[in-house]
Amino acid sequence: MDHDDRKKGMFAQVRSFNGNQKKFMVSQIVGSVYNSIVSGVLMTGFLLYTGVPAAGVGVILSIPLLANVLQVPFGKIWDFFRNSKQAINRMVLLARLLILSIVFIPLLVSEGSQRMMGVQVEFRIAAVSVILFFAYIFASSSGIRLNYWMVNSIQPDIQGTFFAFRDRIVVGLTTLISFGASTCIDTLQQKSNEYIGFAIIFFIAAAIAVIDYIVIRKIHYEEQLDGQSRISLKQCVRIFHEDKRFLHFLIYMFLLSFSMNMANPYYNAYMLEELHLNYTNIFMLTTLQVGVQIAVSSGWGRIAQHIPWKNILTIVTLVLGIQFLFWPLVTPDSIGLILVIFITSGLIATGLATAQFMLPYHYVRPHNAIRYLSINTALSACGGFLGSLTGSKIISLFKNMDLKIGTVSIGSMQMNMIISGLLILGTVCYARLKMRDES
């Protein structure tokens, strides 16, 4: 994009994209809408509906992170595919439909439990866990390759505009779908037909996944990953030893993922279980966040053209850490404070998501890109999974906690948020100390 193009509005800049870039834009929008459906409050609500306890929701939602760790050895399977484009696309579709198949569990798996190897196993929870585990292994391994394909099709000077425009459209579409879903589920919940609402939403998500499959089929593909599928522990150690810059980045991403995921998976459960909000309440709050996000999304596009992704991520995680520390003040008696949380989330959402996505590509070496990206994905996911388990343990340990600080009552979930917020601020300090010379 030349200097004159940058002076144009966002829509004019997007119209100047080539055919592949426009198709990837559509694919990214459709895929992001799908991800919003299967990873947001609706998925949390479905897990609670199937019998997953509040403290266990975060563990189930962290299964994608565990799958990201295991996608490294799974990567060898790509050596058997001659047509990488078809393989990537089919694997993405398979993973997405497999994730959605958990909607049949309440119909096919009876309630109950059985003691196995000294552990009481709930049938439905076990079924959800197994299905999501394999689905997300497929999703992670194919997702790395799809994203690398996409990033190599988008020049660095238009990436800020690309992702800002994508997020603007995504939040609008997600808002419309969430409004219909929330209204549908709340209405059916009053008639004890909550399951029908979840089934409708999951069916819509399946249709969205098929649409993305059709779009990706039309995108031109050039093989860029040959010989990069295999990775061993010895290769990992050599990379760590030879590339200290990448090692510091990995430590930063591990710590950030750990600290964020201590509390992140539990916020929807906190709003549903502790603040007693219904789906429509949460939708209205999300709409507020979306409105703010749309208003500032073009600003993030311009910022990304002048400020390195590392600096953007450091700034927004500083704000995020402060926000996590603010969450415990939100109680049923001070519910109005939740507006501050959602407005702040809207301000930083595009910057946070895009910086987390783009930053790894700044630290990888092109000739070993997939190895670098696989290591980063695995270690970040390992940090996130351990963080979710730690958060679940903290919530369980302090389940009877009722600490009074002034007029605010601090329970187990709030304590987890406080610890998580402090650790996020710690990662900001690490980035300033160890990565300050990187740009």
Asked if pLDDT for residue 41 goes beyond 60, the answer is yes
pLDDT digits (tens, 9 = 90+) for 99-125: 999 999 999 988 776 776 666 677 888
SS3 109: coil
SS3 404: strand
Q: Which residue has the higher pLDDT, 183 or 227?
A: 183
Residue 182's pLDDT is what?
75
Residues of the chain with pLDDT > 70: what percent? 85
Residue 235's pLDDT is what?
66
Q: Chain-wide mean pLDDT for the chain?
A: 80
Q: How far apart are CA 134 and CA 77, in angstroms?
A: 14
| pLDDT, mean of residues 18-36 | 86
Residue 439's pLDDT is what?
43
Among 58, 56, 192, which Cα is nearest to 122's? 56
Q: For residue 79, which amino acid is it?
A: D
Residues of the chain with pLDDT > 90: what percent? 13
Q: How far apart are CA 149 and CA 220, in angstroms?
A: 10
226 band by pLDDT with thresholds 50, 70 and 90: very low
Do residues 349 and 297 lie in contact, with contact meaning Cβ atoms separated by under 8 Å?
Answer: no
| pLDDT, mean of residues 10-17 | 74
Most confident of 399-403, 406-410, 431-435: 431-435
Structure tokens belonging to residue 142: 């194919």
Ordered DSSP codes for 132-152:
HHHHHHHHHHHHHHHHHHHHT
Structure tokens belonging to residue 300: 């993030």
Place of tokens 């992001």: 32
| pLDDT, mean of residues 245-263 | 87
Cβ contacts of 349 within 8 Å, gap of 6 or more: 167, 171, 289, 293
258 band by pLDDT with thresholds 50, 70 and 90: very high
Asked if pLDDT for residue 228 goes beyond 50, the answer is no
208 band by pLDDT with thresholds 50, 70 and 90: very high
271 band by pLDDT with thresholds 50, 70 and 90: confident
DSSP class of residue 230 equals -
Question: What phi and psi values does residue 119 have, to the nearest 5 degrees?
Answer: -120, 135
Residue 323's pLDDT is what?
92
| pLDDT, mean of residues 178-188 | 77
367 band by pLDDT with thresholds 50, 70 and 90: low
Asked if pLDDT for residue 214 goes beyond 70, the answer is yes
Asked if pLDDT for residue 51 goes beyond 80, the answer is yes
The mean-pLDDT minimum among 78-87, 146-155, 197-206, 409-418 falls in 78-87
pLDDT digits (tens, 9 = 90+) for 72-90: 666 666 666 655 778 888 8
Domains of the chain: 16-434 (1.20.1250.20)
Q: Which residue has the higher pLDDT, 321 or 365?
A: 321
pLDDT digits (tens, 9 = 90+) for 298-350: 787 778 777 887 888 888 999 999 999 988 888 888 888 899 999 998 888 87
Ordered DSSP codes for 44-80:
HHHHHHTT--HHHHHHHHTHHHHHHHHHHHHGGGGGG
Most confident of 43-52, 235-244, 349-358: 43-52
Question: In what helix (H) or strand (E) does residue 120 lie, and over which residues does it extend?
Answer: strand 119-122
Do residues 28 and 98 lie in contact, with contact meaning Cβ atoms separated by under 8 Å?
Answer: no
Instruction: Say how many Å lie between the first and final Cα of the chain, rounded.
Output: 22
Angle between helices 84-100 and 19-39 (to 10 degrees): 20
Q: How far apart are CA 11 and CA 17, in angstroms?
A: 10
Supply the pTM of this predicted model: 0.68
Within a 13 Å sphere around the CA of 274, how many CA atoms are in the beta-carbon half?
25
Within a 13 Å sphere around the CA of 276, how many CA atoms are in the beta-carbon half?
5
